[in-house]
């Protein structure tokens, strides 16, 4: 896929993985629309992305909206299409996490996580898709997580929202082929972003024990893997060897991993 003069709309593009991908795409000549809530952070990110432009005429704009609010999403996507044109690439990266033991989570956390991670993705796709279908081209890139492949202690709010994205992507892939719209789903590993730092501050120690064994990647490495997957028109994008292994073997690995996680937690609790 040649990205020059293509328009990429990236939700969650003001930080972390979304911003790193925006920088890469700008370097390949794409026009970029960033969508997130905080206007100051969006403008700072847009300035950084402009710094990576491959040519002067590229348009890098930011749009403030909460993806969990369907009306806001519809209005904002309409504005984006008016100002920047129909997206060739729609990357739904906006997301949140609030780890904690199920019985200790504050009320509403699971609902909010599902609203942002799942419905935020669904609303954005629904708002942009009709115009993409009319043009009969484009690609949706949904950002799930390794925690969307395997449920982990402390992620009862997060994992289900990321599992749900897998279901959505698999159904859409089959339905959208006939309209020339490609679909990708990304399963990133732990990535060094503000979300991970925030999460690390409140993670139960059991979650820390389990996830601490995995390698943390840079947002730039994850963005490069996503770009490669987009270019190859891959349906599944697994940044790094561990995620590739987990994706391919998770039905076999899950019972072994669960036994290992339980063992580590029991050992630590006894000690």
The set of catalytic residues is: 144, 158, 162
Region of residue 154 (phi > 0: left; psi between -120 and 50: alpha; otherwise: beta)? left
Q: Are 115 and 68 in contact (CB under 8 A)?
A: yes
Nearest to 15 by CA among 38, 145, 26: 38
**In the complex, what is the shortest distance from the CB of residue 116 to ligand NAP, in angstroms, rounded to a whole number?**
4
Q: Is 12 in the site for ligand NAP (CB under 6 A)?
A: yes
Phi, psi (deg, nearest 5) at residue 258: -60, -45
Of 135 and 160, which CB lies nearer to ligand NAP in the complex structure? Answer: 160
**In the complex, what is the shortest distance from the CB of residue 147 to ligand NAP, in angstroms, rounded to a whole number?**
7
Instruction: Give the x/- contact pattern for ligand NAP in 48-67, rule: CB under 6 A.
Output: ------------------xx
Residues 6+ apart with CB under 8 A from 26: 32, 49, 50, 52, 53, 54, 58, 60
Of 28 and 37, which CB lies nearer to ligand NAP in the complex structure? Answer: 37
Distance from C-alpha of 32 to C-alpha of 58, rounded to nearest angstrom: 8
Instruction: Give the x/- contact pattern for ligand NAP in 75-104, rule: CB under 6 A.
Output: ------------------xxxxx-------
By CB under 6 A, name the binding residues for ligand NAP: 11-12, 14-18, 36-38, 41, 66-68, 93-97, 116, 120, 143, 145, 188, 190-191, 193-196
């Amino acid at each position: 896929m040649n990205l020059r003069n293509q328009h990429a709309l990236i939700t969650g593009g003001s930080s972390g993985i979304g911003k790193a991908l925006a920088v890469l795409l700008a370097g390949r000549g794409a026009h970029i629309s960033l969508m997130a809530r905080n206007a100051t952070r969006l403008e700072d990110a847009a300035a950084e992305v402009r710094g990576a432009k491959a040519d002067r005429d590229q348009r890098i704009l930011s749009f403030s909206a909460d993806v969990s609010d369907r009306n806001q999403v519809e209005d904002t996507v309409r504005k984006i299409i008016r100002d920047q044109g129909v997206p060739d690439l729609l990357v739904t990266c906006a997301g949140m996490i609030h780890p904690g033991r199920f019985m200790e989570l504050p009320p509403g956390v699971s609902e909010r996580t599902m609203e942002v991670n799942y419905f935020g993705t669904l609303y954005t796709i629904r708002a942009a898709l009709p115009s993409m279908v009319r043009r009969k081209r484009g690609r949706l890139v949904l950002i799930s997580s390794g925690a969307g492949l395997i449920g982990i202690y402390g992620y009862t709010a997060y994992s289900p929202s990321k599992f749900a994205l897998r279901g959505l992507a698999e159904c859409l892939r089959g339905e959208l082929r006939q309209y020339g719209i490609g679909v990708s789903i990304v399963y990133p590993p732990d990535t060094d972003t503000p979300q991970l730092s925030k999460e690390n501050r409140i993670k139960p120690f059991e979650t820390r024990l389990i996830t601490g064994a995995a390698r943390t990647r840079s947002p730039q490495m994850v963005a490069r893997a996503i770009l490669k997957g987009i270019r190859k028109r891959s349906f599944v994008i697994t940044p790094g060897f561990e995620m590739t292994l987990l994706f391919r073997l998770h039905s076999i690995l899950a019972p072994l991993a669960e036994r290992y996680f339980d063992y580590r937690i029991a050992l630590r609790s006894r000690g």
